[in-house]
Structure 1
Amino acid sequence: MISTKSLALAAAGLMLATGISYAQSTEVRIGVALEPPALDPTAGAAEAIDVVVYQNIFEGLVRIDQTGAVQPGLASSWTISDDGLTYRFSLVDGVTFHDGTPFDAEDVKFTFDRLLADDSVNAQKALYTPIESVTVVDAQTVEFTLSRPDGLLLFNLGRGDAVIVAPESAESNANEPIGTGPFAFVQWDRGSRVILEQYGPYWGEKPALTKASYVFIGDTATMTNALLAGDIDGTNNFAPEALAVFEGNPQFNVLVGSTEGETILATNNAKAPFDKLEVRQAMAHALNRKDIIEGATYGYGVPIGTHFAPHNPDYLDLTNTYPYDTAAAKTLLADAGFPDGFSATLKLPPLNYAQLSGQIIASEFATIGIKLELINMEWAPWLEDVFANKDFDLTIISHVEPFDIGIYANPDYYFGYNNPEVQALNETLNATTDEAQRKVLAQQIQTIIAEDAVNGYLFELPQTGVWNAKLEGMWQNAPVEGVVLRDIHWVQ
């Protein structure tokens, strides 16, 4: 007698043999390099948080699409007063959080009161300081009053830092996130994966996927093997040095696009000897961007000379401000009082581009007498020691926040740059809504920080995705942080 199980196995074998598929998969497994330290994007700076939760678990009043444009989100529409100081948002009706509690204007007010509170831990709090008050007009209407016009307010409301959270669940979002998005959190197997499932009562258009797993794989060889074995279905940012394995393979689709990630040799401007302009200028002259880009991104990175994305229309090419010139670098070091150079530490997060860049830069700096001790760090200690406590000489990191030149106007930011002229220009930029005027101001700031060699400006980080060829709907470019699931689907 043949069992039902045997018949099922035989049928499955026939499907494999003939290539016939009777059921379309609705699950995706995505490999990501970094495990997030928490899952609340309103209370953490790590990009790894947004990779998992942005537009998947959590949503904002508006959302950013893959072109970088602002689209309606939890707000279906909005009006702006003539003076640019009042924004009135009409909210989508019938929205619920994943725990079943209803979403309304009170949640919006709670979110921004919490974001702007004195004890707020939001990494981008400064972006929202123009918000003077948030007023509940009625359950489906909320009004923002600004202290000054803000040309980037709508875009900033679409970032992961401004997603809407509920008072009932805000305190537990770090470990058990509850949002309004198309996917609900299911479980977090620490060190392994986060699992999301489609939220049945979702208010918007249902995604094609019913389940998504974010699998944490920090090693390139392991990620390669997982892709080839079919253990994962793709990754949004694969190591460029191994892309050749997948290029030309019909089973995979390689998507190369741009990001907002300015990769910099971040410098502790508040610490000797880096508080001397000549030292920073010497280091800038010692950087051979061509070699760094070839070695760290296998040629996929785009050189930058300031902290601005080259694809942005306001970008100014300042890569020749301090051209590669070791003789000039040595002269500047001597002028600064270091004719024989000095020793310093270079703390590197667990990112391939950072560690490869670090090795190349250490070799280049050695030629002008700067001896670097490379210190490889895990992500959590790097965030604490370098980003939070400013306990570092040099580090390498990509700043992936869009239009984030305003960090140079914050003297308390981790690289300790304090320039009143930049602070004044940035204040004017923030209050300016005219695009032509904004461009002039943005380029003035770009020029000053380049000439001050605040950091070593290396390259714009590319996005190099590798995906199963039967998957579609992934973002090629990354105008904001995140792996957005809403459009991803399987095709025959």
Structure 2
Amino acid sequence: MKRLLLIFLFVAGFGLLPGAAPVLAESDTLIYSWPGNVGPLNPHLYSPNQMFAQAMVYEPLVRYSLDGNIQPCLAESWDISPDGRVYTIRLRQGVVFSDGVPFDAKAVKMNIDAVMANAKRHAWLELVHQIRETVIVDAHTVKIILKDPYYPFLQDMALVRPFRFLSPSAFPDSGNTADGIKQAVGTGPWVLVESKLGEYDRFERNENYWGKRPPMKTILVKVIPDPNSRAVAFETGAIDLIYGDGQISLDTYDRFRSDPRYRTAISQPLCTRSLAINSGRGPTRELAVRQAIQHAVDKDAIVKGVFLDTEIKADTLYSANIPYCDLKLPPYAFDPAKAESILATAGWKRTEKTGFRTRDGQVLSVDLCFVGNDAVMKAVAEVLQSDLQRVGVKINLLGEEQDSFYKRQKSGEFGLIFNNTWGPPYEPHSYLSSWRVPSHADYEAQSGLPMKPEIDATIGRVLVSTDEGVRADTYRKILTTIHEQAVYLSLSYTTGLIVHGKGMQGASFGPTKNEIPFETMFKE
């Protein structure tokens, strides 16, 4: 009886009863879920705009492909000047925004100028500092002139944000998209047509799309904050697809994987699952404490017990297949005795009453922050708490909503905080570029390092280096220093998960972790 009541309540919340999400024809509608609404989908701004949804509506000049190459998208071709400072870009002709407005050089300049007008907000991305001017050559050609020969220009133009393109008709009257947009209008395969706060977002196929039109007419994204609720919604048929990292617990995924009714898949490694350790606040200001934390964590047990061998242990911030990152740095081996010795040498002594270490009357206590409704983060946090308690470190678990979590990353109000790397095409250049400003947890994690100014200056130099050998040596210097300073606790190289019923076809992983290829999916 309790099971039936539970399913009834879930179904009521997932749009199968009056007053919730609209009832749509099953054959031409794909139903997905996300922990919150997708936001207003301003292509030039960040939270609460959700990246997977921005990528559905807006397109870049060039696209990052599954094979790691840059391919044409809204740009048909491009030339680079011999000095690497001028990119002449020829635009694809015949493209219109979903509202029928032509996509042309004027629209490109209007959008890039809007991003540049809000440059302070995008300070994490070096490209914003490098663009000197965008010049219209003719109706379908633009020149983007840089200050320096910034080598990752095309990779940054392929990112989900901020260099994507909004219809001129959807700009605010001020012309500054930092003030908001009139509506989400892009050139992409999907159009956001309806949002209901706390319930769903509905996307329709863009009938003006220049490329191959998606087979599905509608993508309905239901708001389901809780992973267990999402699993029940999938089992009861209220959603069609589970996709990504942290959408369900890995125990649940393992159960679905062994159920013949469902099809499942695991992606190749997408990025590094790591935590930032704050060198500027609390006990973790001390290198010895950060090093002890590294040696106290049993990564093999986490990979096996939490990730169920769906991920690979990470000993360094980046995997060896990332450009410039095959450095063979010595790992911090799991060695609780060594962790205890490091802490004891640093003066942190265990107290018999609590088992935690103290020094000068201060308890060795660290706040570990995570997104409370992320099943994987929560499970990992609990294991870390147990591992660190064994060596006398008190870990306070702080599970919060996503917006509060990201605010804490920027403010530095954490000891340990989940802070995954970003995956291609951000790595390593864009991610390192972001270290220099307080846009993510990295800046605060590194803020207490005595060599922080030199790290930032070195990042600035490597991003405009034209010598491949110098560039490789400079990346080695940066990443070796960060590794030795123990400001990142890297756990595993993350993967994405797919679960769907046998009636759905075409589900595959996108080229980056922030893009979901709904346009290839269909129902039999």
TM-score past 0.5 threshold: yes
Distance 1:330 1:411, change over 3 A: farther
What TM-score, normalized by structure 1, do the two folds share?
0.86
**1:139 aligned partner:** 139
Gaps of 5+ in 1: 1-22
**2:10 aligned partner:** none
Q: 1:488 is matched by which residue type in structure 2?
A: M
Within 5 A, what are the aligned runs for 1:376-395?
Answer: 376-384=399-407, 386-395=408-417
**2:52 aligned partner:** 51
**2:121 aligned partner:** 121
**1:452 aligned partner:** 485
Distance 1:37 1:381, change over 3 A: farther
Within 5 A, what are the aligned runs for 1:284-323?
Answer: 284-312=294-322, 314-316=324-326, 320-323=330-333
2:406 is the alignment partner of 1:399: no
**2:250 aligned partner:** 240
**2:130 aligned partner:** 130
How many angstroms does 1:102 deviate by?
A: 2.5
In structure 2, what is the Cα distance between the partners aligned to 1:77 and 1:478? 20
Distance 1:396 1:472, change over 3 A: same
Identity of aligned residues (%): 24
What TM-score, normalized by structure 2, do the two folds share?
0.81
Distance 1:301 1:78, change over 3 A: same
Distance 1:452 1:405, change over 3 A: farther
Q: 1:91 is matched by which residue type in structure 2?
A: L
Q: 2:296 is matched by which residue type in structure 1?
A: A
SS at match of 2:187: coil
2:184 is the alignment partner of 1:177: yes
SS at match of 1:66: coil
Distance 1:291 1:31, change over 3 A: same
**Which is worse superposed, 169-178 or 339-348?**
169-178
Distance 1:433 1:241, change over 3 A: farther
How many angstroms does 1:264 deviate by?
A: 1.5
**2:266 aligned partner:** 256
SS at match of 1:93: coil
Distance 1:435 1:33, change over 3 A: farther
Q: 1:50 is matched by which residue type in structure 2?
A: M
Q: How many residues align?
A: 466
Q: 1:264 is matched by which residue type in structure 2?
A: S
2:34 is the alignment partner of 1:32: yes
In structure 1, what is the Cα distance between the partners aligned to 2:37 and 2:475? 34
**Which is worse superposed, 82-91 or 444-453?**
444-453
How many angstroms does 1:235 deviate by?
A: 1.5
How many angstroms does 1:76 deviate by?
A: 1.2
SS at match of 1:107: helix
Within 5 A, what are the aligned runs for 1:18-97?
Answer: 25-36=27-38, 38-44=40-46, 49-54=50-55, 56-97=56-97
**1:3 aligned partner:** none
**1:226 aligned partner:** 233
How many angstroms does 1:431 deviate by?
A: 1.9
Per-residue CA shift, 1:150-187, capped at 9, x if unaligned? 22211111111121124542448678422111111111
**1:102 aligned partner:** 102
How many angstroms does 1:442 deviate by?
A: 3.3
Q: 2:160 is matched by which residue type in structure 1?
A: G
Q: 1:204 is matched by which residue type in structure 2?
A: G
**1:370 aligned partner:** 393
How many angstroms does 1:487 deviate by?
A: 2.0
How many angstroms does 1:141 deviate by?
A: 0.9
SS at match of 2:282: coil
Distance 1:294 1:436, change over 3 A: farther
**1:211 aligned partner:** 218
SS at match of 1:398: coil
RMSD: 2.7
**2:165 aligned partner:** 164
SS at match of 1:142: strand
